[in-house]
Amino acid sequence: MNFFLRAADEVELDFDNLVAIGGVGCAARIPAYLNAEGLHGIHGRTLPWATGIKLHNPDLDVVIFSGDGDAAAIGGNHLIQAARRNLDVTMIVVNNLNFGMTGGQMAPTTLTGLRTTTSPFGTVENPFDLCRLATAAGATYVSRWTTDRPRQAVRGIKEALEHEGFAFLEIITQCPTNFGRRALKSGDPIEGVRWIAEQSRGKAGQISIDAGAPDGFDLGTFVKRSEPVFKGSSVQAAGEA
């Protein structure tokens, strides 16, 4: 939330024109602390709500705060549909690599070999790289940063807020309560930040969607292009007729 508020201040975001949406997860309560219209509902359904809001009033600024489970598990299909349509919203995924709020279960983003409550001998499933997924689905802005790089994270949020089209921003964050204690054998949040930094590497330009399962975190802005935004299939077809 700190990163978002700093970015919002720098771009002079109009909070009277903002709808902030949170699903279920550790980051989903952020809209409740913002002086703006907010929506906090069931797991995985942030993007259908965002779609309805933008179709009803395209002039509103819509920002989604989602967890990795919320975005990539139960909400995974909504993510790829919103990306392919180029829905004009900003989606910030706070990725703590597990279902941190509901018991520390393995998530679609848990790196191979790490222990969780549902993978006590180490995760064997290949994880999603959410930035590759968003890129392959057609997102027109894709970026990833971490909590140990605040200046870059704030800059990424600023770019996402100013982008017209589907802006997907992933922030890798520590989870001392569940992920840290089990995967890293430490509940110290500082150790979690250090581990994230050790797994991170800079990457310039376009992200490869053909690469194998991720073994760390490529950081940077991978996609930034301009395309027509989604205005509703029937409305667009009528305009082209």
Percentage of the residues of the chain whose pLDDT score is greater than 90: 73
pLDDT of residue 170: 97
| pLDDT score of 24 more than 60 | yes
Q: Which residue's structure tokens are 């790196």?
A: 111
User: Does residue 68 contact residue 101 with C-beta atoms inside 8 Å?
Assistant: no
pLDDT over 90 (residue 237): no
Is pLDDT larger for residue 238 or for residue 210? 210
pLDDT score at 208 = 66
- Domain containing residue 13: CATH number: 3.40.50.970
> What average pLDDT score do residues 74-87 get?
96
Contact call for residues 219 and 144 (beta carbons, < 8 A): yes
The answer to whether 232 and 216 have CB atoms below 8 angstroms apart is no
Q: What is the pLDDT of residue 210?
A: 65
Rounded CA separation 153/206 (Å): 18
For residue 65, list its beta bridge partners: 22, 92
Measured between alpha carbons, how far is 86 from 69 in angstroms, rounded to an integer? Answer: 22
Range in 47-56, 135-144, 165-174, 226-235 the model is least confident about: 226-235
Residue scoring higher pLDDT (162 or 183): 162
Neighbours of 121 (CB within 10 A): 7
Domain count, the chain: 1
The candidate with the shortest Cα–Cα distance to 104, out of 214, 22, 26, 195, is: 26
Average pLDDT, the chain: 90
Task: Tell whether the model's pLDDT for residue 31 goes beyond 80.
Answer: yes
- How far is Cα 75 from Cα 197, in angstroms, rounded to an integer? 28
- Boundaries of domain holding 147: 2-240
H runs (alpha helix) in the chain: 2-10, 46-56, 68-72, 76-85, 130-137, 150-162, 189-199, 233-240
State pLDDT tens for residues 170-227: 999 999 988 888 989 999 999 999 999 999 988 756 666 666 667 789 999 999 999 9
